[in-house]
Amino acid sequence: MTTAASPTFPFIDAAKQTCITPEQAQFFRDYGLLHIRNLLQVNELNALREQTLPLVQKAMATKVDDRDYVYKKHRDTGKEVPFRIEYVIDKTTSGKALLGHPFILQSIQLLQGRNFLPTWDSMVFKLEGMGAEIAWHRDSQPYPENAADIDHPVSAINVDFYLDGSDLSNCLWGILGSNRWNIRMPWKPSPSSMGATSLTPRARCRSRSNRVMCFFTASWRCMARPRPSPKCAG
């Protein structure tokens, strides 16, 4: 899960607790990442797989003329490959159930208070042997320390449900503590920095299926370009 120099991820098992603990919440505030196990029941996980697979198959069959279906060029072959589908909650009943998951809602309340706004949902996936590389990126900057109208010093939070297992060739990578970096941080992502930056520890978020990664939108992360291996959809 982490490099030798990294802080140890707290062990979070949703089958044994109703939400994250205050200590786990503090780790998230400090380092920007959490790894949650066993959030979904078997029938919930199977329903998600069954209802999202047709969307992936539709995207694979032909280039869909719909802005909700997103494609990018595969670096090795030059072919346009699908890798993202927007608004899966609207397209699946199993996705709607995730929006009201009690463990997630109680954990978000602990981090952000009772009021929050769900703003976006999508499914990112990799085709076996033809997966699109997701480069190092962050979705936002940290809030200024004295930002107006911010009751809780927490930026937007992403909650990723992983439906398939992953390995080091296709897993999510995150940089622990990068949620606190401001725009002046002297680091520019590049292919050579995949898992190899001297500034701060990396987290290799390799996992089995039915795992959840939570991260601040201000955290730097990427997904490796996969070798021929099982897909990783989340």
Q: Let me know: does 81 contact 132? Beta carbons within 8 Å.
A: yes
pLDDT value at residue 184: 55
| β pairing state of 157-162 and 211-216 | antiparallel
Residue for token digits 């927007």?
A: 86
pLDDT value at residue 195: 43
Which residues are within 8 A (CB) of 161 and not within 5 positions of it... i.e. 6 or more apart?
39, 40, 48, 98, 212, 234
pLDDT value at residue 67: 97
pLDDT value at residue 177: 84
* Sequence spans of domains, the chain: 12-223
Q: Let me know: does 25 contact 110? Beta carbons within 8 Å.
A: yes
pLDDT value at residue 155: 64
**Any bridge partners for residue 216, and if so which?**
157
115 φ/ψ sector (left φ>0, alpha ψ -120 to 50, else beta): beta
- CATH (one of 3.40.190.10, 1.10.1740.10, 3.40.50.720, 2.60.120.620) for 12-223: 2.60.120.620
pLDDT value at residue 192: 43
pLDDT value at residue 209: 66
Q: How far apart (Å, rounded) are the C-alpha atoms in residues 4 and 20?
A: 25
Per-residue pLDDT of the chain (234 residues; tens, 9 = 90+): 444 455 788 999 999 999 999 999 999 988 888 999 999 999 999 999 999 999 999 999 999 999 999 999 998 888 999 999 999 999 999 999 988 999 999 999 998 888 888 888 999 998 888 888 888 877 776 655 555 455 555 568 889 998 988 877 777 888 888 887 765 554 555 444 444 333 344 555 555 667 788 877 767 777 754 443 333 333
pLDDT value at residue 49: 95
